[in-house]
Structure 1
Amino acid sequence: MAEPTNLQRFSSCRGVSFEINHPQSVLFDVRVRAAGDNSCEREVSLSSFKVQPFATDLQKSTSRSSSHFCDLEDEDDDVEKQQASGEQVPQPAATRSPSVRRKSGESSRLSVILLDQGLFTVYKRLFAVCFTVNVVALVLAVTGHFPYAKKRAAFFSMGNILALTLCRSEAFLRVVFWLAVKALGRPWVPLFVKTAATSFLQSLGGIHSSCGVSSVAWLIYALVLTLQSRKDTSDEIVVVASAILALLCLSCMAAFPLVRHLHHNLFERTHRFAGWTALALLWAFVVLTVGYDPATKSYDNLRGSKLIEQQEFWFTSTITFFIILPWVTASRVPVTVTVPSSHASIIKFAGGVEAGLLGRISRSALSDWHAFGIISDGKDGHMMLAGAVGDFTGGLVSDPPTHLWVRGVHFAGLPYLVNMYNRVVLVATGSGICVFLSFILQPTAAEVRLVWVTKGVEQNFGREIKEMLSRQPKEKVVVHDTAVLGRPNVAQVAVEAARDWEAEVVVVTSNPQGSRDVIRACNKAGIPAFGPIWDS
């Protein structure tokens, strides 16, 4: 199936995959309830399943247009309702002029990328701090006040590459998140310490990207020094170092926010294959520099014992280990895919999984990997709920596979940190529910209340998901079905749920603007809140 040209995709929340189709549905764009209409203030029973509205005031949200698999409804449904009520219907996106579509789409994309949850986020501050440290060290080296760095500038570039690799290593971060939960997930640990740790761990992408840029700066400096002492090195070393620098620059340019957002597949493939090539060249660089003898201008000096004595060797070995690890654990496993509707698919796997973990799946071993939240009772099996909005997720509905590639290490992201707290409200819209269902299906350290705002629970997500929720106590699960009750102000719902539950924090999974609205409303009410960021 060819991917539509107007479909964009990116990932967040360390596994909450955002797939965006600009501009179609308008999330949270609700009609104001007619005066005297109290239909949304009573509990509505649908068979054995309770649809329980939480907020009584369904005010219009200020969220801007964005389409996401966590969205509530399609634009066509909005148009039909407006036509039926006699409202003036805006011109559909498909019929607008290209210039209008481009202008509104670009505005929305730039808003998500550049203004995601503010200009001074933890992510951006971590980037600034890490980059500043590198710049200061580099300036000291250039001015002669840091002779060790001047002598081993290439080694400092490797150090940054190692740091950025660890910040994206799913196995390494699984251990880090586990340690954070074990160390800080105790009742006596102050809440501000827990929230600070959550912000830091969620924003490690800032260190990753900063180290990428810094590695380029250090390698440029190393090359300049090498060219200044051209007689002490070989042509091969210069060529290999230059090739590594070119690949690092290419990866940085492909990861630039606007490029990454508009051309995600290009970014992903460039990052992966350029990274692998750079790693191979890095090994060549280490071997050549260790083995080269400037006095004889030959490589007669290369010995295994000398190689393993070098810090560069161990840094490169560690980088290689963490890059290879997820690929050597990948395997092709049998799956059962059910399709409750044209909007979603449910993929079932063997083996129970701890609450809060996420997984990656693919039809191909080398590319097109997609991350999803895992639903599991922690016992016999687990499953993923995939909203059908992109080429890959749509293919799961139209052409359900019998086998998929999976990675053996399930990774931890923001949802896993729910285990750090005592009382938490989880807010989800649409297919975003998949990240949180495990917390009500299995015993967890945190007491959670789940608030789910969606359209047509059984019609879109199937009887199995409906029954999972209907078996839970009403005080723990609040479902607002927009097909019955209309769209609420989700931010207000989240604040009221947190106050009623006496929650320490709110964790939300919605589209970017929806998550931002909930976080801002909770913070304004004095309630810490976290949601997906663009590059967590």
Structure 2
Amino acid sequence: MVSHSSLPSSREVDVTDVVAALPSLPAVARTPSMHPHGPLAPSSSTGSSTASSSPTHSKLQLSGDSEKGAEIGPWEGYLDDPLPEKTQGHLFRNARFQIMSLYRRLFGVVFTVNMALFIVACVRRADAMYLGQVAIANFFVAILMRQDYIINAFFAVACLAPQSWPLWIRRILGRVYCIGGIHSGAAVSGTIWLVLFTAQGTRQFLHQDHISIPTLVFAYTIIALLVGMIVFAYPQARIRHHNTFETVHRFCGWTAIALVWCLVIFLLNDYRVPGQTLGRTVVGAAPFWLVLVMTWSIILPWLRLRKVVVRSEVLSNHCVRLHFDYTNTHPGHFVRLSTAPLTEWHSFATISVPGTPGFSTVVSRAGDWTSTCIAAEPTRLWVRGVPCYGVVRVTPLFRRVLLVATGSGIGPIAPVVYAQRTQLRLLWSAPSPRETFGDALVDSLVAADPGAVIYDTRKHGKPDMVKLTYRMVRDFDAEAVVIISNEPLTKKVVYGMMSRGIPAFGAIWDS
């Protein structure tokens, strides 16, 4: 493999350095599956291949010389490499790394605390006002945990940890992208509290104790909406019917928020002290301010809804690269794009090049919307909110990182390779990378990481990514692995590394 001394320094790679290096650097190639959403590299148009027949570093050779026969790459003989035994017992490691992921553990903590309070409230026969306040507090947490600025703040704080900190601390901080477990835990808990509130409110109404009919009507309606949202948010339902999930979540959520406003006003009126005005009662109540912040949190991204100019660059019949200049992004960012902003949105990782304004993203064929986007070559698209951080943002927490991408998963990985904020090695597996994604991308990646391993699945077949990843972890002496691939392969590689004591991070498909 490549010696450590051949690594680029930890400074950011200037775009002029990248471009200047292109003519003298060879192209590589290597393989398997493709990530549904993906971006690309610096914004030069596809050029001619710079492949040459001579090897570059170590065993790495060029991918453009099909007439020279099979390549010999750093993966040669990797299938014969023995994998170390998995740590811990079978049941324990499966429970820890698969059944009880950090996302589910966060869900469990939030849910368990709520249920403990729930039991106490039932034993003490808390009144409807108390139950309603706790329900709204849970919805407040659930909504804020999906707010772009809050998510970015979590990532910013977690990634402040220096690389000198113990690995076990940085490994935990690196899972900051699992905070969605707090969102789902609070949302489900809030719904249960609302059911208890409605039951208690019905009881109090029958005893003519504060609660009025409008309050109950709003409560029952909100429960029906929330149950529908939870059903469609179940992971399997969300994957199979994602567009339906998104529509239900959006429109039922908006309706529920409007009804929560009505519920809060009528509930406060039901408990209003005689002689006190409704306005004074509302302004002095915590639920009013919680709902106000919740509503503002939902509205804020839509205040930044706009149609922006986009330059389309068709790379192949599989993908198109979209160039934007309305804002700048950083490694780890993703943006939401749409042609019909009220019905569907699609998230794509951004590719930023140090010193170059704007960003690009690659749309790969993965369904009706992406296929239409490739065929139509859009000139304007809708965007909303601000660029938001994703899993690859955690890369600088570690001293030496192996970045693994398959197919168009190179999109989120590419800007991290360019930025070089820590010592990196790239493993990219894709079918015919040059033909599919263009010479500019391949050349720029090799310029930023001369030791990059790009495995062409069309030439070499689909690899055993767990074994290949482990070989590169061992040879590069990587402290952690970050992978962007499809869901099954991501889970397989992450588990394969984590179960052997190697920190590994990949998307969790929780939105």
- Specify the TM-score bucket, using the shorter chain as the normaliser: 0.7 to 0.9
Q: Once the 2 structures are TM-superposed, how far is the Cα of residue 404 of structure 1 from its aligned partner?
A: 0.6
Q: Once the 2 structures are TM-superposed, how far is the Cα of residue 387 of structure 1 from its aligned partner?
A: 1.2
2:261 paired residue number: 283
Q: Once the 2 structures are TM-superposed, how far is the Cα of residue 171 of structure 1 from its aligned partner?
A: 1.7
Letter in 1 for 2:417: I
Mean Cα displacement is larger for which, 302-311 or 360-369?
302-311
Task: Sort the Cα spacing of 1:319 and 1:142 in 2 relative to 1 into closer, same or farther, 3 A.
Answer: same
1:366 to 342, 358, 376: 342
- The whole-number CA distance in structure 2 between the counterparts of 1:45 and 1:304 is 73
Please state whether the residue corresponding to 1:55 is helix, strand or coil: coil
1:118 to 98, 101, 107: 98
- The whole-number CA distance in structure 2 between the counterparts of 1:205 and 1:512 is 17
1:518 paired residue number: 493
Q: Once the 2 structures are TM-superposed, how far is the Cα of residue 124 of structure 1 from its aligned partner?
A: 1.8
Once the two structures are superposed, residues 422-445 of structure 1 have per-residue CA deviations (whole angstroms, 9 ceiling, x without a partner) of 22111000000001100122242x
2:111 paired residue number: 131
- The whole-number CA distance in structure 1 between the counterparts of 2:266 and 2:187 is 23
CA contact (8 A) 1:124 1:206 kept: yes
Q: Once the 2 structures are TM-superposed, how far is the Cα of residue 188 of structure 1 from its aligned partner?
A: 2.3
Task: Sort the Cα spacing of 1:221 and 1:385 in 2 relative to 1 into closer, same or farther, 3 A.
Answer: same
1:492 paired residue number: 467
Task: Sort the Cα spacing of 1:196 and 1:295 in 2 relative to 1 into closer, same or farther, 3 A.
Answer: closer
Letter in 2 for 1:220: V
CA contact (8 A) 2:350 2:412 kept: yes
Once the two structures are superposed, residues 196-219 of structure 1 have per-residue CA deviations (whole angstroms, 9 ceiling, x without a partner) of 1223x2222222222222111111
Please state whether the residue corresponding to 1:503 is helix, strand or coil: coil
CA contact (8 A) 1:52 1:479 kept: no
Once the two structures are superposed, residues 112-162 of structure 1 have per-residue CA deviations (whole angstroms, 9 ceiling, x without a partner) of xx99962222222222221111111011011018x5x86510111111111
* Structure 1 position 395 matched with structure 2 position 412: no
CA contact (8 A) 2:129 2:267 kept: no
Letter in 1 for 2:476: W
2:201 paired residue number: 226
- The whole-number CA distance in structure 2 between the counterparts of 1:421 and 1:295 is 58
1:55 paired residue number: 75
Task: Sort the Cα spacing of 1:330 and 1:421 in 2 relative to 1 into closer, same or farther, 3 A.
Answer: farther
1:10 paired residue number: none
Aligned counterparts, 1:202-213, within 5 A:
202-213=177-188
Q: Once the 2 structures are TM-superposed, how far is the Cα of residue 502 of structure 1 from its aligned partner?
A: 2.0
2:243 to 244, 265, 270: 265
2:124 paired residue number: 144
- The whole-number CA distance in structure 2 between the counterparts of 1:52 and 1:409 is 44
1:153 to 115, 120, 131: 131
CA contact (8 A) 2:35 2:407 kept: no
1:404 to 362, 381, 390: 381
Structure 2 stretches lacking a partner, 5+ long: 1-33, 38-57, 82-93
Please state whether the residue corresponding to 1:227 is helix, strand or coil: helix
Task: Sort the Cα spacing of 1:278 and 1:405 in 2 relative to 1 into closer, same or farther, 3 A.
Answer: same
- The whole-number CA distance in structure 1 between the counterparts of 2:501 and 2:462 is 25
2:429 to 453, 456, 460: 453
2:439 to 460, 463, 481: 463
1:79 paired residue number: none
Once the two structures are superposed, residues 236-283 of structure 1 have per-residue CA deviations (whole angstroms, 9 ceiling, x without a partner) of 111111111111111111112232222111111111100000001111
Please state whether the residue corresponding to 2:509 is helix, strand or coil: coil
CA contact (8 A) 2:143 2:297 kept: yes
1:439 to 404, 410, 416: 416
- The whole-number CA distance in structure 2 between the counterparts of 1:333 and 1:60 is 51
Structure 1 stretches lacking a partner, 5+ long: 1-15, 20-40, 62-113
2:174 to 179, 192, 198: 198
CA contact (8 A) 2:336 2:347 kept: yes
Aligned counterparts, 1:166-177, within 5 A:
166-177=144-155
CA contact (8 A) 1:353 1:377 kept: no
Please state whether the residue corresponding to 2:448 is helix, strand or coil: coil
Letter in 1 for 2:75: A
2:295 paired residue number: 320
CA contact (8 A) 1:428 1:508 kept: yes
- Normalising by structure 2, we get a TM-score of 0.80
2:61 to 14, 29, 44: 44
CA contact (8 A) 2:98 2:495 kept: no
CA contact (8 A) 1:142 1:150 kept: no
Q: Once the 2 structures are TM-superposed, how far is the Cα of residue 410 of structure 1 from its aligned partner?
A: 0.5
2:40 paired residue number: none
Please state whether the residue corresponding to 1:354 is helix, strand or coil: coil
Please state whether the residue corresponding to 1:44 is helix, strand or coil: coil
CA contact (8 A) 1:335 1:404 kept: yes
CA contact (8 A) 1:165 1:322 kept: yes
Mean Cα displacement is larger for which, 427-436 or 366-375?
366-375
CA contact (8 A) 1:157 1:216 kept: yes
Task: Sort the Cα spacing of 1:385 and 1:518 in 2 relative to 1 into closer, same or farther, 3 A.
Answer: same
2:359 paired residue number: 382
1:238 paired residue number: 216
- The whole-number CA distance in structure 1 between the counterparts of 2:165 and 2:345 is 37
Aligned counterparts, 1:291-370, within 5 A:
291-292=269-270, 302-350=277-325, 351-370=327-346
Q: Once the 2 structures are TM-superposed, how far is the Cα of residue 292 of structure 1 from its aligned partner?
A: 3.8
Q: Once the 2 structures are TM-superposed, how far is the Cα of residue 315 of structure 1 from its aligned partner?
A: 0.6
- The whole-number CA distance in structure 1 between the counterparts of 2:241 and 2:166 is 42
CA contact (8 A) 2:148 2:385 kept: no
Task: Sort the Cα spacing of 1:228 and 1:524 in 2 relative to 1 into closer, same or farther, 3 A.
Answer: closer
Letter in 2 for 1:259: A
Letter in 2 for 1:426: L
Q: Once the 2 structures are TM-superposed, how far is the Cα of residue 532 of structure 1 from its aligned partner?
A: 1.8
2:481 paired residue number: 506
Superposed CA RMSD: 2.7
Q: Once the 2 structures are TM-superposed, how far is the Cα of residue 324 of structure 1 from its aligned partner?
A: 1.2
Letter in 2 for 1:253: V
Q: Once the 2 structures are TM-superposed, how far is the Cα of residue 343 of structure 1 from its aligned partner?
A: 0.8
Letter in 1 for 2:146: R
Q: Once the 2 structures are TM-superposed, how far is the Cα of residue 302 of structure 1 from its aligned partner?
A: 4.5
Q: Once the 2 structures are TM-superposed, how far is the Cα of residue 192 of structure 1 from its aligned partner?
A: 0.6
1:417 paired residue number: 394
CA contact (8 A) 1:48 1:470 kept: no
Could you say which structure has the higher strand fraction?
1
- The whole-number CA distance in structure 2 between the counterparts of 1:253 and 1:473 is 45
CA contact (8 A) 2:348 2:362 kept: yes
Please state whether the residue corresponding to 1:203 is helix, strand or coil: helix
